[in-house]
């Protein structure tokens, strides 16, 4: 029996966990997910522990029910091939650092030239603005900066402890999957009525677990910067 997202096509160029796990959920629900991987190494999770042949357990789980294709996005021919895929897709998702997709020629404006009603999804560590916007972000970094490690601190020593099950990555994936489904729903409705008024829609969420730390009046001698952990931006 076809899943509820049967008929939707997703072009996914994300790597590691948060993006692939999000599109895995859509694939489990029936969406046609085309995973684009770079030549040579492929998705970085292919090389994680327990690999057999070219697939690790982490890669197999996060990328189940998808179709995979190798495209070199560093070459003009690769960008042309990607745009041909996007032209027949409903949603495109990437998790490059902000600005990278635009430099590559696959930013929102560039892809809307081939698919004007495309749902364009960006998953990034610290959103699209701010002092950390261009920094690399991994699960332990988010645990530390969001305060998650401090919450789990040892009661006697006070030393912060990491959660070893990459909770921020997984919560980001769950949030992204729900937001992408909502964006697809809004997109479908807009085709038959003026719900979006031709100006598009934006959905933004903060993760993991909605952590956002802002100190309006820090103590003397302490500088504090508003911080967002794992940001998701969708436009449709």
Interval 20-33 mean pLDDT: 97
Predicted confidence (pLDDT) per residue in 178-201, tens digit: 999 999 998 888 763 222 222 233
Whether residue 227 is predicted with pLDDT greater than 70 in this model: the reply is no
Q: What is the mean pLDDT of residues 89-104?
A: 94
Calculate ∠ Cα 40-78-178, nearest 5°: 85
Quickly state the pLDDT bin for 204 (edges 50, 70, 90): very low
Mean pLDDT of 197-224: 36
- How many residues does the structure list for the chain? 236
Per-residue pLDDT averaged across 202-217, rounded? 36
- Phi then psi for residue 100, to 5 deg, are -65, -45
pLDDT of the residue at 235: 58
- What dihedral do alpha carbons 192, 195, 198, 204 form, nearest 10°? -120
Query: In three state form, how does the secondary structure of 114-171 look?
Result: CCCCCEEEEEECCCCCCCCCCCCCCHHHHHHHHCHHHHCCCCCCCCCCCCCCCHHHHH
Q: What is the pLDDT of residue 215?
A: 29
Tokens of 125: 């560590």
90 among known catalytic residues: no
Q: Is the pLDDT of residue 209 over 70?
A: no
DSSP E strand boundaries for the chain = 9-12, 32-37, 67-70, 91-94, 119-124, 202-206, 212-213, 227-228, 231-235
């Amino acid at each position: 029996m076809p899943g509820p997202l049967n008929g939707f096509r997703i072009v996914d160029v994300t790597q590691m966990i948060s993006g692939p796990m999000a599109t895995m959920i859509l694939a489990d629900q029936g969406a046609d997910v085309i995973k684009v991987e770079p030549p040579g190494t492929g998705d970085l999770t292919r090389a994680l522990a327990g690999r057999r042949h070219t697939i690790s357990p982490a890669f197999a789980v996060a990328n189940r029910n998808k179709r995979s294709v190798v495209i070199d996005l560093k070459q003009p021919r690769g960008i042309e091939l990607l745009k041909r895929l996007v032209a027949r897709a409903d949603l495109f998702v990437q998790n490059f650092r902000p600005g990278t997709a635009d430099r590559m020629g696959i930013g929102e404006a560039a892809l809307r030239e081939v698919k004007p009603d495309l749902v364009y999804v960006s998953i990034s560590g610290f959103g699209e603005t701010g002092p950390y916007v261009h920094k690399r972000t991994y699960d332990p970094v988010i645990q530390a900066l969001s305060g998650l490690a401090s919450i789990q601190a040892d009661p006697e020593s006070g030393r912060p402890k990491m959660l070893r099950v990459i909770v921020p990555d997984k919560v980001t994936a769950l949030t992204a999957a729900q937001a992408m489904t909502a964006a697809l729903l809004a997109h479908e409705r807009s085709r038959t009525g003026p719900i979006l008024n031709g100006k598009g829609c934006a959905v933004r969420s903060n993760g993991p677990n909605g952590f956002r730390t802002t100190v309006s009046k820090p103590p003397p001698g302490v500088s504090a910067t508003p911080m967002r952990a794992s940001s998701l931006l969708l436009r449709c």
